[in-house]
Structure 1
C-alpha cells in the first residue's frame, strides 16, 4: 500500500465524484430514519453547491498509487448558509462570528479503514479549519445509523450538540 495525500483545488473536485456518490449510498445503507432522503443526494446536489457557496474550501484526496480511495472536504461558510430549505442545521444566534467551519464530507473505502487514514485526514482538516481567526465554531453532520463515524468524531473532541430532521442528522460541535 502506497498512500499519498493530495490537496486539490476547487477546479479538481470532479476527482471526488465517484467517492461522494459512494458516500451517499453508504449513508443510505446505514440509515434507519428516512433513508429515502438520500435518493436525491449525490455529488451534483451536495458537493458542488457546497463548494460554490463556501468562502473557503479544503479538499484532500488519498490515493493508493493512482486509485483515489478516500477524501475529506471541509469549508468555511457564512453561518446563514446552514439555514436553507432542507434544514436549519444549528441555532444561528449560538454562533458569535459571521462564519462557521465545517468538516462537510469524509469518506474512505472500506478496505482502507483501520490504517490511520481517517485520523490523518481529520487532523489535516482541523489544522486547516483552525487557521481562520474569524471562526470559533466547527460543525460535523453525521447521518443516522453511522455510529462508527459518530464515535470517531467524539473521540476526536467533538460533542453531540443536537439532532435535526427528527434524528436524520446528528450535529456535532466543537468551539475554539
Structure 2
C-alpha cells in the first residue's frame, strides 16, 4: 500500500464521482429503513448540490498509487441549508450561529478500512474546521444500518442527537470547545 492524502479544490470534485456513487450503494446495502430512498442518491444529486450550496468546502481523497480508495467531504453552510423539502435535519433554533459544520460524505473502500485511514481523514477535517471561529455546531448524519460509522463517530466525541425521517438517518452533534 502506498497511500497519499490529497486535498482537492472544488473544481476537481469529479474525482469523487465513482466513490460517491459507491458510498450510496454501500449505504443502501446496509439500510433496513427505506433503502429505496438511496435509488435517487448519487454524485449528481448529493455531492454537486452540496458543494454548490456550501460557503466553504473541504475535500480530501486518499490514493493508493493512482487509484482513489477513500474520500471525505466536509462543509460549512448556513444553518438554513439543512431545512429543505426532504427533511429538517435539526431544530434551527438550537443553533446560535448562522453557520454549521457538516461531515457530509465519508467513504473508505473495503480493503482499506482498519488501517487508520478513517481517523486520519476525520482528523484532517476537524483541523480544517478549527480555522473557522464562527462555527460552534458540528453535525454528522449516519444512514440507518451503518453501525460501524455510528460507533466511529461516537468514539470521536460526537453524541446521538436524534433521528430523522422515521429513523432513516441518525443525527450526531457536537459543540465547539471555544
TM range (shorter): over 0.9
Q: Could you tell me which residue of structure 2 aligns to residue 75 of structure 1?
A: 75
CA–CA separation in structure 2 for the residues paired with 1:49 and 1:7: 19
Q: Could you tell me which residue of structure 2 aligns to residue 108 of structure 1?
A: 108
User: What is the SS of the residue equivalent to 2:107?
Assistant: strand
User: What is the SS of the residue equivalent to 2:163?
Assistant: strand
CA–CA separation in structure 1 for the residues paired with 2:132 and 2:166: 32
CA–CA separation in structure 2 for the residues paired with 1:100 and 1:18: 27
CA–CA separation in structure 2 for the residues paired with 1:13 and 1:52: 11
Unpaired runs of 5+ in structure 2? none
CA–CA separation in structure 2 for the residues paired with 1:63 and 1:160: 31
- Alignment RMSD, CA only? 0.4
- Report whether the alignment pairs 1:50 with 2:37: no
Query: How big is the shift at 1:130?
Result: 2.0
**Alignment: residue pair count:** 176
| TM-score using structure 1 length | 1.00
Detail structure 1 runs of 4+ shifted over 6 Å in the superposition: none
Cα deviations by residue, 1:41-81 (Å, 9 ceiling, x for unpaired)? 00000000000000000000000000000000000000000
Query: How big is the shift at 1:15?
Result: 0.2
